[in-house]
Amino acid sequence: MSPRLGLFWLLTLLLLASSGSRESQLRIGKAINIFLRYGYLGISMRVIPYTDNEETERWIFKEPTRNVYKNIHLLTETNEDNTPGIFHGDFHMEFCDNRRQLFQAYFRDFTIERLDKPWEAFTGGWFPDNAAKKLGINNSFIQGDYSYVLVRVVRFRETGKLSTQIPINQTLENDVRARVEQMQIGNLTSAMRFMESFGTHYVNSYTTGNSLYQVFVYSRKNYKMIKDRIKSKGLNGLSKLDLYNYFAPWFAEHLGHIRSASANATLERWARRKLQYEYYVVKYLSLLKLHGNSTLLRSLDTLLGNDAILQLDLKSLNVVFREYPEKESWFHEVLDNNMKLWELNMPQNHPNR
C-alpha cells in the first residue's frame, strides 16, 4: 500500500469512529462532517434517487448533525411557500458536453466551502452503472462519445438562511468551546478529532421542495446544433415545432426516464400518464410537454411536495476559531489537505474509470 493511501485510510478510520450522541436535522447553523459519506452524500441527503426503484419512505435529511453555537436560531430566517393556484418554481435546461458536466449541472446549487468541485461530494463514489440509474438513462449512454441536456422542473417549498454573518462573539456550546481551546497547532490528531466530534462545515442556507428531471442524450453533431440554436435565439425564441423535434427520439440518441428528486412513485406515475407524446406508432415521454402548459403546471404544483433538498450551502467550521487566528489557519490546512485526499481516492477519479 502506498504511503498516500495508507494515510487516507488512517484518516478514514479516525473520522468514522463513534462520536457519541448526534441528531439528524436540516437546520441553519447545524454542523456536519462531510467526510463521513464523502462521495456518497446522497445516501443521507435526499437529492437524487438512490436507486432506480420506486421509494416509498419519506425523508429529506439523515446526516448526523451537531449544535456548535448557542441561540443560533435567533440569526436565522425560514420561509415557506405553499400558495395554491399558480406554479411556484422554475423550468430550465442545462447543456452538458460530457458526463462530468452532467453531474456538475445536477448539483449546480450545492456548494461546499473550500471544495472546488462540490458535486463530487455527492457523485465521487458513483460508478457508471449506478450513475445511469440515478439519472434515468440506459447504462450504454453514460460512457462513450455523447453529450447531454438536463431538463428540470423545480418547485421550491421552504428556504432557510442566516440573516447575518455569525458574530465573532456568538456563544459556542460548552463542549465546542473547550475543544477549541484545547486545539494544538501542528497536531494532526487534535484537528481530526475536532472534525470527527463536531464536524467540518455548518449549514449556511438551504432550499427544499421537489423536482422532475429528464436527461436527453445526443450525438456530438446534433448536440452542437441544438446548443448553438438555443444560444442564438433563446429557449423562448424557438417554435413549438422546433422544441418538439429537438427533444424527440428521432433527433436524440436516447430519452431518459422522467424521475423525481425524491423518487416519489406517485409523482413519477403522474408524469408517465400526463407527459406522453404520440407520433403514429411512436410513444415517448418528454418534460418539454410542460413548457408553457399552465394547466399541467398547476396540476404538478400540488404534487411536487417538500420532499427533497434542492439547494444547499455549507460553510467551513473555521468560524469557531476566529478568536485564534493561528488555530483557524491550522484547521484550514488540515481540512484542505483532507479534502484533496478524499477527492483523489474517489472511484470516479481512478484512471480506469
In whole angstroms, what is the distance from residue 281 CA to residue 240 CA? 21
Contacts of 189-193 with C-beta under 8 Å, sequence gap 24+, read 189/14, 191/330, 191/331, 191/334, 192/11, 192/14, 192/15, 192/334, 192/338, 193/14
- Grid cell of 97 as nine digits: 458536453
> C-alpha distances in angstroms, 340 versus 1, 253, 263?
18, 36, 32
- Grid cell of 303 as nine digits: 404534487
Summarised one tens digit per residue, pLDDT across range 165-223 is 999 999 999 999 999 999 999 999 999 999 999 999 999 999 999 999 999 999 999 99
Q: What is the pLDDT of residue 352?
A: 46
What are the helix (H) ranges across 96-142?
99-106, 120-123, 128-135
In whole angstroms, what is the distance from residue 224 CA to residue 244 CA? 17
Give the domain range for residue 272. Answer: 3-349
The count of structural domains within the chain is 1
Summarised one tens digit per residue, pLDDT across range 88-133 is 788 899 999 999 999 999 999 999 998 989 999 999 989 999 999 9
pTM of the model as a whole:
0.89
In whole angstroms, what is the distance from residue 93 CA to residue 212 CA? 12
Cα-Cα-Cα-Cα dihedral sign, residues 61, 66, 72, 73: positive
Q: Which residues of the chain have pLDDT under 70?
A: 1-24, 51-56, 85, 347-353
Q: Which of 69, 72, 64, 73 is CA-nearest to residue 21?
A: 64
Q: What is the pLDDT of residue 56?
A: 64
Q: Are 128 and 187 in contact (CB under 8 A)?
A: no
Q: What is the pLDDT of residue 32?
A: 96
